[in-house]
Structure 1
Amino acid sequence: MSNGHPSSGGDRSSHPGGAHELGQNFLVDRSTIENIVRLVGRTSGPVVEFCPGRGAVTLPLSESGRRITAVELDPRHAARLRKRVGDEVRVVRDDVLRFPLPRHAYTLVGNLPFHLTTAVLRRILAAGHWNTAVLIVQWEVARRRAGVGGASMLTASWWPWYEFELHRRVPAGSFRPVPSVDAGLLTIHRRPHPLVEGRTEYQRFVKRVFTGPGRGLARILSRTGYAPRTGIARELRRRGIPPEALPKELNATQWARLWEVISSPPPRDRG
């Protein structure tokens, strides 16, 4: 698999796509490749691989006999890879931000270009059909997506539908040429049963909580109009949510409980 050179600006949220992917860092660390193959081996069905490069992961994956679609923008790498793989691998020359994703169940694999990580993640998280993604991403991005040291707004927005798991740190020396920062091996699993209903409303709520005024959930909820000033702290404690916690400090279950508090109709006055 190949990886775009990390930019000085880190993980950008958007990019027009195109020849930006042609700067590549190739994964050469055998143990990391074996880990990726092992994680993919826990899944079933066809595989879509983003940015296969020279085929460091494609070739061992192809030994499983599963159908693989390898999406590579660089025409040289795409041509060379076609000559190295068998009939079970289809090499497609396309941009990962524009490639038409399958309409059937599949597993996604990729060594994402560091400067495109968020753009690619936003695309695949909003897509249907795939069940598991095994990804190499920039280390700090991997930590934040897995909620290590505090979750990001993107993670909290998608937690009810996906589980994020950080498996290992991948040192910069695992690539050629060597990038300036480390990477991380991250898996994303689609939950069989979402933790909440109403994705659009829930994600709008998460954004307002993350960007709302105040310090601590109780104050943020009251200042954004989601809850009255009185009683909200007590209700949060009853649901196992610290009223003084910051949005980034909540886990997936707590976010689901918080949404339940906000979206549930108030109890009727029996008096």
Structure 2
Amino acid sequence: MRATSPGVHLLSCPGVVESLIRHAGVGPGDLVIDFGAGPGTITAPLAATGARVLAVERDDAFVEVLHRRFGSSVRVVHGDLRRVPLPRRGFAVVSSIPFAVSTPLLRRLLSPVPVRLRRAELVVEWGLARRLTSARPRSRESAWWAARHELRLVRRVPARCFSPAPSVDAAHLSVRPRSGSDTRAAAVLWALLGFAYGEPPLPARRVVAALAGDRAGRRVLRQAGVDPGSAATEVGVGDWARVASVLARQSGVVAPRLPRALRESTVDRGR
């Protein structure tokens, strides 16, 4: 096989690939995307499950390899994973993501409302996986992702499992959408996280009071099992999701409109 382009590290450990496929649990009837498919290391076992597979790759030579290897059994999409349209229907992702574009792709997969991603098994940089699965996210965006998806670090993937080996280890990150979040609750959640991660940091009671008033805010927090005196950034993302769900059912709370960038209908125009 030809030398890879600078910055490209191909997953080469069969055990890691097998773990990704096993955890994904996909089969006939499922739509699955392999982003950064390369020569098809993950694409091949995905296709063997009987799922409908889209292999996204921007490198011209790898695209030729994919076409020759899979023919019509896999749809090969020649394009940049940061820009190719995503399906309108529910889909899964099983992929070893190039480290340099991990955050832009995660933003496309985890940010939109409503959720179209049904599950994902991803190989990402180790430090990123640790940050995303932290009990206390560092930013509003990462808290938004974690509040709406279960993000689980499955295993560490050593650098030696790539060819050529990168300078850092990677991780198998598993993603599952959390249930019970509608568009109104999501809008309330985004607003709450904006106050919670703003400057300066606020206590939880003031965050909720910004939408519901002080008295109702304290009541809602206690109902969700959160101490009103807690620092907002110390409240878990699951707790914020419960608070948002309770607030969304209050008639006196006006749910602010989600930013255009988070609304599903404006994110992608794919099929």
User: Residue 49 of structure 1 corresponds to which residue in structure 2?
Assistant: 34
Q: Does 1:39 align with 2:39?
A: no
Contact 2:148/2:241 (CA < 8 Å) preserved in 1? no
- How far apart are the structure 2 equivalents of 1:58 and 1:241? 44
Q: What letter corresponds to residue 175 of structure 2 in structure 1?
A: I
Which of 82, 92, 100 lines up with 1:97 in the alignment? 82
User: Residue 28 of structure 1 corresponds to which residue in structure 2?
Assistant: 12
What are the Cα deviations for residues 36-74 of structure 1, in whole angstroms up to 9, with x where unaligned? 111222565121110011211111222222221100011
**What secondary structure sits across from 2:184 in the alignment?**
coil
**What secondary structure sits across from 2:106 in the alignment?**
helix
Contact 2:136/2:237 (CA < 8 Å) preserved in 1? no
**Structure 1 residues 31 and 248: CA distance shift in structure 2, 3 A:** farther
Q: What letter corresponds to residue 64 of structure 1 in structure 2?
A: T
Could you list the runs of 5+ residues in structure 2 that have no partner in the other structure?
253-271
**Structure 1 residues 42 and 219: CA distance shift in structure 2, 3 A:** same
- How far apart are the structure 2 equivalents of 1:31 and 1:203? 38
Q: What letter corresponds to residue 39 of structure 1 in structure 2?
A: H
**What secondary structure sits across from 1:87 in the alignment?**
helix
- How far apart are the structure 2 equivalents of 1:82 and 1:22? 23
Contact 1:151/1:250 (CA < 8 Å) preserved in 2? no
Contact 2:196/2:233 (CA < 8 Å) preserved in 1? no
Which of 88, 92, 99 lines up with 1:107 in the alignment? 92
**What secondary structure sits across from 1:135 in the alignment?**
strand
1:1-271 paired onto structure 2 within 5 Å: 23-42=7-26, 45-125=30-110, 126=112, 128-146=115-133, 148-152=134-138, 153-194=140-181, 197-214=184-201, 216-218=203-205, 227-228=213-214, 236-237=221-222, 239-260=224-245, 264=250
Cα deviation for residue 115 of structure 1 reads 2.4
Cα deviation for residue 199 of structure 1 reads 2.4
- How far apart are the structure 2 equivalents of 1:265 and 1:212? 29
Cα deviation for residue 132 of structure 1 reads 1.1
Q: What letter corresponds to residue 11 of structure 2 in structure 1?
A: L
Cα deviation for residue 239 of structure 1 reads 3.3
TM-score scaled by structure 2? Answer: 0.76
- How far apart are the structure 2 equivalents of 1:265 and 1:213? 29
TM-score scaled by structure 1? Answer: 0.76
Aligned residue-pair number:
245
Q: What letter corresponds to residue 20 of structure 2 in structure 1?
A: I
**Structure 1 residues 237 and 198: CA distance shift in structure 2, 3 A:** closer
**Structure 1 residues 108 and 225: CA distance shift in structure 2, 3 A:** closer
Q: CA RMSD in A?
A: 3.1
Contact 1:143/1:149 (CA < 8 Å) preserved in 2? no
Could you list the runs of 5+ residues in structure 1 that have no partner in the other structure?
5-20, 267-271
The share of aligned pairs that are identical, in percent, is: 31
Q: What letter corresponds to residue 250 of structure 1 in structure 2?
A: V
User: Residue 266 of structure 2 corresponds to which residue in structure 1?
Assistant: none
